[in-house]
Structure 1
Amino acid sequence: MSCFKKQNGDASARRDHYQEITDRIVAALETGVAPWRKPWDPDKAGGPLSPINAATGRRYRGINVVLLGMSQFSFASGDPRFCSYKQAKEKGWQVRKGERGTTVIFYKQLHVEDRAAPADAEDRTRRIPLLRAYTVFNASQIDGIAPFIPPTVEEAPWRRFDAADVILRNSKAVVRIGGDRAFYSPATDHIQLPPEHAFRSPAGLAAVQIHELTHWSGASHRLNRDLTGGFASPTYAKEELVADIASCLVNSELGLPTDIENHASYVASWLDHLKDDKREIFQAAAAAQKAADYCLAFHPDFAESELDQPTDHESDDTATLAEAA
């Protein structure tokens, strides 16, 4: 069972955050908006479009990217930084009075003695996933924080115009050109793309390349997702949900469009799944983050930057969150 604590830490609260978050996402989908897609103009935002923690420099991941993307402040001023009230205070910043924040979810493991373990067991420790909800604020809501300066292309070379080509080339995925549809075929393990002139822009082509590559990542000898569903089947819709979120995560890092068109039936199917299972969006976000990580690792500059990512004792690992319900 999940255990949550109120933000002030005085008492535990058994709020169902899984249901609350699912309800918010369902409400957004019912308006025809997939909330993991960028609600901002990348030409105005500039810089890295994925949210980062202003105090630690860590990238938010998975379900928290979706949640922060739903914030009315999310990148409205071109600033992708968020942090908690406590973190802001520790930095000497001040969240302005009356500002409303956005809820994010974090996890850590609580280690307790496993009294049911055999007396001669080497490990008598039981690990309990502890989920915690925090309120964070966008930098535009905080006084005293330095202005955000987007990194240059030299500092973030994975945001160059050819990033998608680099990733696709290094992945060794088989790509065939022709026809009027873009898709990944599990049976032949190849990506099919229309010719370049069929796309409105090079960025549009790159975004579709990444979307199909996220499907490619799910093959049994890669991340092993269920790709057996026929068109319009529940399994097919689940995979489209994962790929839709994953491609948005990758494209946001690369500075590419994320508004790839989806068939209306996908959204209807997603709604059915989310309404039936409050953990579905967490599981989809977990699978999407794995797919995004898998694809981004094919860009050597991004892979190297990940080695420099700071860590702490808490994580917003959606794979763990999905399993911890």
Structure 2
Amino acid sequence: MNKSKWRRSGKADPNPRDIYQEVTDKILAALERGVLAWQRGWDQGLAGAPMNPTTGRAYRGINTLLLGMMQDAAFNGDPRWCSYRQAQARGWQVRKGERGTTVVFYRKLQRRGGTDGETSGISHDGEGEGARPFFMVRASTVFHATQIDGIPVYNPPGIAAEPWRTPEAVQTILDNSGATIHYGGSQACFVPSRDCIYLPPKGAFRSDAAFSCTALHELSHYAYAPPRLDLSQGGRFGSAAYAFEELVVSIASVNICTVVGVEAEIENTASYLADWMTVIKSDKRAIFRAAADAQRVADYILGFHPDYAAAVRAANEAGAGEQDGDGDPGDTLDEFDDQAVPVVERLATAA
């Protein structure tokens, strides 16, 4: 019996697909080659973050990493990805023989409790008495715009449409963040005990992009710590908690750079890679948690840009943040996003 028949029969699949392990193995394989899944391989000033052209939404969390590894397809500066069904609904056609890219989404289900704690059934959207919500991870396949015939030519949004993609954007974010930043010396760091950021003078950086990337990295540590997002586990240098935070901050700073149009530069020394790989290997859901926390950090920091914050508010009021419920990527409900799913605790604290 194939997997679709197992689902229709209501019986448990005897050989369930382990999507968490698949994604973890894929990202570990990239790290072993020295490739950072969250390092963009294209001109971020043109492309921006991966997005779905049929919903107008950017991909988030773990999906930004999965699509970020598909660098060759995005060299043309086109960030658009969508499913076969979404393309077909628009009259576009995925070319025969094209291989898609896996992304994930979470479907919210309700487990209805029976007598003596037994489960009497599963509902996709029921909220009846005794129903308990849980989330089922699902994989979907998307195709890049270059693999789709009939899709309109991509015209990157200009500054008028995305005014946060300007040379002044990072400084605006820093100024509005409320963070105490000391310039001088030769080190870039966030000091939790003093709750402040230290950066070398701007002139010491080899480029404006290098300054922006470093400043956003340290600002991500600032956002990660209490009393802001309070995600920090307080790990000392060399600990697993410290490595996890560095992993989150590395992903977050790239996500921010991508949105504001800065070419990110990441330090991927052997020691960093080894620490990150140890964290990811320790738990098949670790990279999912890290990507979700990085999304929270990026959202928090980008909110300091007034134009970006206003655009997010307008999108939310228009309902762009709602899930269509059709299971297509781009309408992703993230199990690890406690802003989108308040009933689910962060796995890092629940595990």
Would you call these one fold, judging by a TM-score over 0.5? yes
Matches within 5 A, 1:1-325: 14-42=16-44, 46-47=46-47, 49-115=48-114, 123-226=129-232, 228-309=234-315, 310=320, 311-312=322-323, 313=325, 314-317=331-334, 319-320=336-337, 323=347
* Mean Cα deviation higher: 213-222 or 72-81: 72-81
Alpha-carbon displacement from aligned partner over 1:165-184 (angstroms, at most 9, x marks no partner): 11111111000011111110
**Separation (CA, whole Å) in 1 of partners of 2:51 and 2:333:** 12
Bigger drift between 298-307 and 259-268 goes to 259-268
**AA of the residue aligned to 2:309:** A
Change (3 A) 1:123 1:271: same
Q: Measure, in 2, the Cα distance between the counterparts of 1:25 and 1:32.
A: 11
Under a length normalisation based on structure 2, what TM-score does the superposition of the two structures give? 0.84
TM-superposition CA deviations, 1:187-227 (whole Å, max 9, x none): 00001000011101112111111111110001121111225
State the SS of the aligned residue for 1:269: helix
Return closer, same or farther for 1:6/1:269 CA change in 2, 3 Å cut-off. farther
- Cα 1:141–1:210, aligned 2, differ >3 Å: closer, same or farther? same
Between stretches 314-323 and 23-32, larger displacement belongs to: 314-323
Matched position secondary structure for 1:158: coil
> Percent sequence identity over matched residues?
46
SS at match of 1:154: coil
Is this contact kept in 2: 1:203–1:256, CA < 8 A?
A: yes
Question: What SS is found at the alignment partner of 1:289?
Answer: helix
- Structure 1: where are the runs of 5+ without partners? none
What per-residue deviation string (whole Å, max 9, x for no partner) do you get for residues 110-148 of structure 1?
A: 124233699xxx952211212211000001100001000
Q: What corresponds to 2:328 in structure 1?
A: none
Superposition deviation, residue 16 in structure 1: 0.6
Q: 1:318 to 1:114 in 2, by over 3 A?
A: closer
In the alignment, the residues of structure 1 paired with residue 332 and residue 75 of structure 2 have an alpha-carbon distance, to the nearest angstrom, of 26
Cα deviation, 1:61-113, whole Å, max 9, x if unaligned, reads 01000000112444221110000000000000000000001000011211242
Distance 1:292 1:260 in 2: 16
Q: CA deviation at 1:7?
A: 12
Give the letter aligned to residue 100 of structure 2. G
Relative contact order, higher structure (CA 8 A, sep 6+): 1
CA–CA distance in structure 1, aligned partners of residues 66 and 268 of structure 2: 21
With over 3 angstroms needed to count, the CA separation of the structure-2 counterparts of 1:230 and 1:112, relative to structure 1, is closer
In structure 2, distance between residues paired with 1:36 and 1:8: 35
Aligned residue for 2:139, secondary structure, equals strand
Per the alignment, in what secondary structure is the counterpart of residue 127 of structure 1? strand
Q: Structure 1 residues 109, 202: closer, same or farther in 2, change over 3 A?
A: same
Distance in 2 separating the partners of 1:171 and 1:318? 28
Cα separation, 2, equivalents of 1:219 and 1:155 = 32
Indicate conservation of the 8 Å contact 2:106/2:136, yes or no: yes
- CA RMSD between the two structures: 2.5
Work out the CA distance in 1 between the residues paired with 2:148 and 2:313. 29
**Residue aligned with 2:190, SS:** strand
Q: How much has 1:316 moved relative to structure 2?
A: 4.2
- How far apart, in 2, do the equivalents of 1:174 and 1:183 lie? 12
Aligned residues: 315
**Displacement after TM superposition at 1:263 (Å):** 3.9
Whole-angstrom CA distance in 2 between matches of 1:55 and 1:24: 27
> What amino acid is the match of 1:84?
S
Q: Is the Cα–Cα contact under 8 Å of residues 181 and 196 in structure 2 kept in the other structure?
A: yes
Measure, in 2, the Cα distance between the counterparts of 1:234 and 1:127: 31
Deviations 1:260-288 (A, max 9, x none): 22443121011112112111101111111
Taking a change above 3 Å as real, the CA distance of residues 7 and 115 of structure 1, as seen in their structure-2 partners, is closer
Classify 1:180/1:318 alpha carbon distance in 2 versus 1 (closer, same or farther; 3 Å).
farther
Counterpart of 2:37, as a letter, is: P
Q: Deviations over 1:6-52 (max 9, x none)?
A: 69976866111111110111111111111111112336xx14x1000
Q: Which amino acid aligns with 1:30?
A: E
Decide whether the 8 Å contact of 1:106 with 1:133 is kept in 2. Answer: yes
Quick one: structure 1 residues 231 and 156, their matched pair in 2 at CA, closer, same or farther if it must change by over 3 Å?
Answer: same
CA contact (8 A) 1:191 1:216 kept: yes
